[in-house]
């Protein structure tokens, strides 16, 4: 197999020489994927806007060879492995919330250079459970307030 036929991710590991155009395209894709990941996280965070609207990214770490529990379970029933995994840590008004993100090759569409499916979700832990109870309490109070 010729190196030129390898996908970009695989070329990185075999000593392939990249052109400036290749690198510019990779940077654009990387930035777009990061933006879409943040959008997905913010979509999940919307339900917490009653208690905090100031979510900020603290850091993120990549684990390209480490499967999340969900990804591992999905591979057991025949799904493809993600090509990358990240953990993004956000500050939700003083509380650090960890998000698990699995990146999969998506369905290729016509006229599209790449297609990536992003599975972003908060880690299941006590802080998210506490925040969910706060949200329910706020909604019940609003509902009761509107009744009277």
Residue 11 belongs to a domain: no
Nearest of 44, 37, 32 to residue 87 by alpha carbon: 37
Q: Is the dihedral of CA 132, 133, 136, 137 positive or negative?
A: negative
Beta-ladder partners of 89: 59, 98
What tens digit of pLDDT does each residue of 52-95 get?
989 999 999 999 999 999 999 999 999 999 999 999 999 999 99
7-44 as b/e: b if 16+ CB within 10 A = eeeebeeeeeeeeeeeeeebeeeeeebeeebbebbeee
Residue 90 belongs to a domain: yes
Nearest of 143, 139, 113, 129 to residue 30 by alpha carbon: 113
Residue 6 belongs to a domain: no
What tens digit of pLDDT does each residue of 100-143 get?
999 999 887 777 767 899 999 999 887 777 887 888 888 888 88
If one counts the domains in the chain, the total is: 1
What is the distance between the alpha carbons of residues 23 and 123, in angstroms, rounded to a whole number? 33
Residue 51 belongs to a domain: yes
- Structural domain containing residue 25: 20-147
């Amino acid at each position: 197999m010729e190196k030129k036929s390898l996908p970009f991710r695989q070329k990185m590991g075999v000593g392939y020489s990249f052109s400036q155009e290749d690198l510019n395209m990779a940077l654009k894709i990387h930035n777009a994927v990061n933006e879409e990941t943040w959008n997905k996280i913010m979509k999940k965070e919307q339900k917490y806007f009653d208690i905090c609207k100031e979510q900020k990214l603290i850091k993120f770490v990549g684990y390209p060879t480490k499967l999340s529990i969900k990804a591992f379970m999905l591979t057991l029933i025949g799904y493809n492995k993600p090509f990358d995994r990240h953990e993004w840590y956000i500050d939700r008004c003083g509380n650090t919330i960890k998000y698990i993100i699995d990146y999969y090759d998506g369905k290729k569409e016509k006229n599209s250079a790449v297609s990536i499916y992003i599975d972003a979700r908060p880690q299941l832990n006590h802080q998210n459970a506490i925040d969910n109870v706060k949200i329910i309490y706020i909604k019940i109070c609003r509902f009761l307030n509107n009744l009277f």
